[in-house]
Every structure is written in C-alpha cells, then in structure tokens.
Structure 1
C-alpha cells in the first residue's frame, strides 16, 4: 500500500506539468484540508508575518486577541485586504507560471469599555484546488496493465474569528478568540480501465470551533511579550458520495448522493511566543516563534504524513514620527523574513516555506486610517524525488479605516 501511495504521489506531481494552467492554488493543496491560508492584517505581511507581541494601536492585530485593548477609546477600525500571487512551479523537467488574486479578509474592531475590546473577522482558512488528467497508473505494483485517472478538486474552509480582550493591569492583558471553521471540499475522480469508466464524486463538509487563549505583557514602554495557545480541535466531517460505472452496456448508478462516515480532521496544539522591542520610538524589532504539534494528532494522508511544524518570523519597521505635518515622515517602512518547516512529509521530504518581505504603511488621515502595501518573495517545497518547488511573488494590499464613534458633538 505504501509503495502504491508513493507511486501516486510521483504520478500526481509529474502530471501537474501537463495541466498546470488549471491549478488554482498549489499542488500541495491535495493534502488534508488543502493548503492552509494565513491572513496577515495591517503591515504584518511585511514583517515576515511576525505580530504576536504587537499592539493594535493602528491596525487590527489578528495575531493576538489580547492586543485589542490598545485600540484608542471611541475608535472603530475596519479593515479589508487582498493578495495577488504570481507563482512558478518547477521540477527537474519543466517550469510553469500562473497568476492568481484572492480575497484575504475583512474585519472590524472597537473598544467596549476602557478595559475591554472586541473584534470579528472573516477570512479563508484553507484552499483545495487541483485538476489533473490522464494519470497512467499500474493496476498492481510491477504490472504491465494500467488504468487512467482524472481528478478535479475544489473547495476549502472559511474562518469566522471572534475575539475579546480584557486589560487586567497596565502591564498585562488577556485575550480569548474562537475560530469557527466551516466549508467543504469536492473530489471528482474518473477511473478508466479498458472501455469501462468508474466515476466517484465525493463532497466532504467540515465544521468545528477552535478556541485560542492569548496574552500580552508590557514589561516596559519599549518591550512587550506575547503568547498564544491554540487548542487542539476536532473538525467534524461528513461525506456525500455518488458512484457510477459507464460502459458499452450503459450507465449503472451504484450510489447517488449517499451520506456516509468519513474520518474527522484533527488540528494540533499550537503554541506561539512573540517579543517586540522599540528603540527611541522610531525603530522597531519583532520576533515570533510558533510550534504546531502535528505528531500528536496521529494522522496521515494517503499521499503523505503530518509532522510537527515550526515557524520563525522576524520583522523590522521604522517610523520617523506619527504626528509630523510632513506626510513622508508619517510613512512606516518595514521588512522581514519568515521560515516555516511545514507539516507535510512527502516521500520523506518536508515541504518547507521560506520568504522575505518589504512594505510600507501609507497614512490616509491623522488618525489610523492607512493603506498597507507589502511585497513577498518566497519558495515552497524542493526539486527532489519528483516533487515540485513553488516560487512565488506576492503583493498584499490591506486597507484600514479608522473612525471616531460614540462621541457627542460639543456645542459652542
């Protein structure tokens, strides 16, 4: 079975080159829930995605719910974002390019009292999209008899994130958030053997809630620490399947939209630590470390395995002054680097991701309204054992609008 699965992995990736124009995301979205998507609010995408210890004083920091207590009183933040990606997929044999634009998120946040705040956000959580035709696979290992496989996969999960923050003291704040995950993936497969075609159409619906506890500790005005603990969670799954055989004698429907059991998906315990240090209120350094304990979920995929994952993020930013009348003095510049070991092991190789980024925050008023622009270049995977290396250029645009609410007009 392992040998057959390894062959399928190689066949899937090899066939990718013939039909790469049909791939909407990444060939690695074949696994699990699909490619997990990380939405980065504000300027965090330019900071190497670091942000666990950053405050939410001029944007909605979705990296740490406890940061929301930094939203100025009576201010209301609304943010929307999108990402454009130009990707090239490369193997030892060929290189292909494709372009894609995807919605990133929309969110709003506001303080409830002097010691509490709330946010709500909608964003994608995962994407599964691949299209492959004409895979030639031996019926039995080592056999000269083959069948042909066509595969079309679509769908993904959404994340409705609800967050609450409470200020325990001038130094310590706590946050609680709940990620409501929902969505479905579809998998349509056709197996051709001689003059007979077996069509299997499968739709899996997912649903689950993942609690997250967060905190930030402000040791001094220039030094802050952050902590995130994401609970291990079971994402419930239900499968609806139709099976039909088409041959010279006609079509035989073996199953029609039949509901059946399927394995639930388990998200691991995830712990993240961050530190943020500012120098003279102009230069800022932030660092995040995260670890996801995938080994403890005891899961595997037909084409690969899940393994513990680590992420390292480092970001730098510079802002001359926020109150200057000179517009260029109020532009914040940022740069960062990110390394993700990945959680997928395919053919004994981890699918890692490394990138660097630059960006800027362009103020739109004298409050916190701003346009955040960042550029990221990165690579994912590697060109070994018939795997694919994905090189990507990513442009991220986030718009944050800041309004003053709940303030009575003053009469002269």
Structure 2
C-alpha cells in the first residue's frame, strides 16, 4: 500500500461516511484534549457550549485563530509509512453585547476528507495478471456559526449556535490491470452540501464556598437530513472498443447529521485548579448512508441502515494556573492536560471502524508587552491512536497553536 498526504487529513479512514470528524475545539480546549462543556472562561471563546458566552468580560473583544501540523504513521501487515500535513483550523471571535449576554461568531471545519492510496495483488492467484485499485478523495464540510449566550438567572445560563454548513467531496475507486486488454470498472462518488446546524447549550454554576465551585454543562445538537444529493458514476471501459460506458446513480437528500448530546462537569478550586470530565453521544446509528451494491444481479446505489454506529466519547482533563493576575510571568502560565476515548461512527466492510485513544498536554502563555497583558498563546501537543482489528493502525502526533487576542475595546475613558 502506498499513501500520500492531503490537506486537513491524510487518513484512509476519511473515505467513510462524511469523513474524519473535526475536533471543533479552540486552542485552550485542545490543551485538555477537547474538554470544555462545563468551562466558563471570561478570556477565551468556548464555542463547544454556547451558554459559556454569557461569562465574557464586558470590556473585552476576543479574537481567536488556530492552526495545526501533524505527522501520522500508518501500519499494516508489519509495514509502516509516514505522512505529514498542516492545516489552518479555525477563526472565532466573541464579546459581551449586553449585560449577561455574550455573542460569538466564527468559522471552523466540520469534517475533513483527504487520502490517496492504492492496493495491488494477483488476480485470482494468476501471477501473470496483476490488478490495482487506486483510492483517492478530497473535500469536507465547513461550518460558519453565530451564537448567543444569556445568563437569565444568577448561576444559570443558556445559549445557542446557529450554523451554515457547506462543502463537497470527491471520492474515486479506479480499477486497472497489468493486461491492457482487461475490462476495467471504476466508481466516482460526489456530493455537495448546503444546509444548517443548530446546537443548544446550558450551564449551571453552584458555589460550595468562596474557594470551590462546580459547573454542569449540557449541550444538544439537532439531527436532520442535509440538503445534498450524493451521486455515484460507474465507468466500465472495454479496451476492445476504447469507449467508456458510464452509468449514473443518485439519492436525493442521501446525507444527514446526527442528533448529539453532551454532558460535562468542571470543578474549580481557588481559581487555580480547573478539573473536568465530558461525555459526548452522537446518534449516528439511526442514520442511513448511500452505498453502491448489487441486489441479485442488479447494481444499485441506495440508502443502507447498517453503515453507521452510535459514537461515544469521554474526555477527562484540567488546567492549573498559580495566579492569573500575578506580576510574575511563570505564575500566569496555564498548564493543561487531557485524555479521551472514542468509539467509531461508521463500519468498515461490516465490522466496527477504528476506536480512538488520545492524550494531550499544553500551555497557555500570556503575552505581555507595553500595551497588552491579556492575550494568550495556546500551544499543545496531542497523540492520537486509531486502531481496529485487521485494519490499518494510525498513530498521529499533532501540534496545535492558537492565539487569542484579548483587546479592551469597550472601556469608558475619563478625561480630567
């Protein structure tokens, strides 16, 4: 097997479903491996729970942008290959619009598709005939959102993100033979997505005393069919005529996103320790996906209800900062770490896809100069292992860099 890197991802597993699901987290979350459903930060945009927007500082405008670079090792049948890429991840912003009301908006990826590999073998044991199947794909779905968070009672907040989803993908399975007179059959899959996404959130803060408080965070995402008509073009080529024969199939509204549910807890001690746990559930198992197959002797491209699986993910992690307002630089550095376990959302040839184990660690480094001492540089390293029985093993090391600009835009100046 040969593998080539693509933008956004280089995983052969991105050929399944809607592609590799994006983390959809910002720089400070990634240091804790994506943790954040219960986090309320006045100086960070925590868009994974829109209820957190209500905690934004009334004087500040926040702007956050991030990028990542990764090296992935693929192992199959005791053979190992490496690939690497880099990607611009997200741009988000946030500010307090009114008392107890925060606003956020931004752009981020929803899924990524990028792979290019081939498999060769002898045809039915005939060493005089070698076949090659080449697999390639690119594209993905992008998300732009606008969100509001409102603290309508002391300690109780709600919020919503309304998003526009768009993007497309192209996937190809190209068949060829060492004998130029053999008949070939290739398949090309395409789709274009233009749809919406709605995510709701809530947070409740309970203070036990002046040093300890617990925050409960809950999120709900609305599942629905996407405005997309996936298409499959099957091209059969007979070398004796040199004329390709193309048969096209399509399924109207054949793609969908799942209903999602998230629950998280965050415990804060003396504003130094922040420890949390998140659970995320995605109801993919009730969604159908278009599959090219043969019924009897008739080829069809139709929806299958045995393609997806419900996805479960649990994340634990935390942050430590000795004193966020200290004049000592090192006392203001935020130390973060986290770990996750996730099940797959799709099947590969009837069996469960790869399970994922990941860990991360990182820093929130304050930027201090003559005119700004509130912005933060978030840097983290993440290791991700994806593995399923009898399938390719992936080990990815990723560096995430996010820069949060924290500007004091809304201060009322006084002149003497």
State how far apart, in whole Å, the 2-side matches of 1:241 and 1:264 are: 12
Which residue matches 1:363? 366
> 2:230, 2:290 within 8 Å by CA — same for their partners in 1?
no
State the secondary structure of the residue aligned to 2:39: coil
State the secondary structure of the residue aligned to 1:44: helix
Name the stretch that deviates more: 184-193 or 50-59.
184-193
Change (3 A) 1:178 1:225: same
Q: What's the offset of the Cα at 1:339?
A: 1.0
> 1:107, 1:121 within 8 Å by CA — same for their partners in 2?
yes
Name the stretch that deviates more: 281-290 or 188-197.
188-197
State the secondary structure of the residue aligned to 1:236: coil
Query: Is 1:374 equivalent to 2:357 in the alignment?
Result: no
**More helix by proportion, 1 or 2?**
1
State how far apart, in whole Å, the 1-side matches of 2:92 and 2:353 are: 33
State how far apart, in whole Å, the 1-side matches of 2:280 and 2:84 are: 30
> 1:299, 1:305 within 8 Å by CA — same for their partners in 2?
yes
TM-score, normalised via structure 1 length = 0.86
Which residue matches 1:319? 321
State how far apart, in whole Å, the 2-side matches of 1:146 and 1:262 are: 37
Which residue matches 1:71? 56
State how far apart, in whole Å, the 2-side matches of 1:339 and 1:245 are: 43
State how far apart, in whole Å, the 2-side matches of 1:27 and 1:263 are: 25
State the secondary structure of the residue aligned to 1:29: helix
Query: Is 1:205 equivalent to 2:208 in the alignment?
Result: no
RMSD of aligned Cα (Å): 2.8
State how far apart, in whole Å, the 2-side matches of 1:250 and 1:227 are: 62
Which residue matches 1:151? 135
State the secondary structure of the residue aligned to 1:96: strand
> 1:369, 1:402 within 8 Å by CA — same for their partners in 2?
yes
State how far apart, in whole Å, the 2-side matches of 1:260 and 1:353 are: 32
- State how many pairs are aligned: 390
Q: What's the offset of the Cα at 1:103?
A: 1.4
State the secondary structure of the residue aligned to 1:306: coil
The equivalent position to 1:238 in structure 2, one of 219, 229, 234, is: 229
Which residue matches 1:3? none
State how far apart, in whole Å, the 2-side matches of 1:298 and 1:187 are: 19
The equivalent position to 2:148 in structure 1, one of 152, 164, 172, is: 164
Query: Is 1:49 equivalent to 2:34 in the alignment?
Result: yes
**1:138-192: CA deviation from partner (whole Å, max 9, x where unpaired):** 69xxxx9986432321111111122111121111111011232110001234333
Query: What 5-or-longer segments of structure 1 have no aligned partner?
Result: 1-14
Query: Is 1:218 equivalent to 2:205 in the alignment?
Result: yes
The equivalent position to 2:100 in structure 1, one of 105, 111, 115, is: 115
Name the stretch that deviates more: 395-404 or 146-155.
146-155
Matches within 5 A, 1:257-276: 260-262=250-252, 264-276=254-266
> 1:107, 1:119 within 8 Å by CA — same for their partners in 2?
yes
Change (3 A) 1:27 1:362: same
State the secondary structure of the residue aligned to 2:54: helix
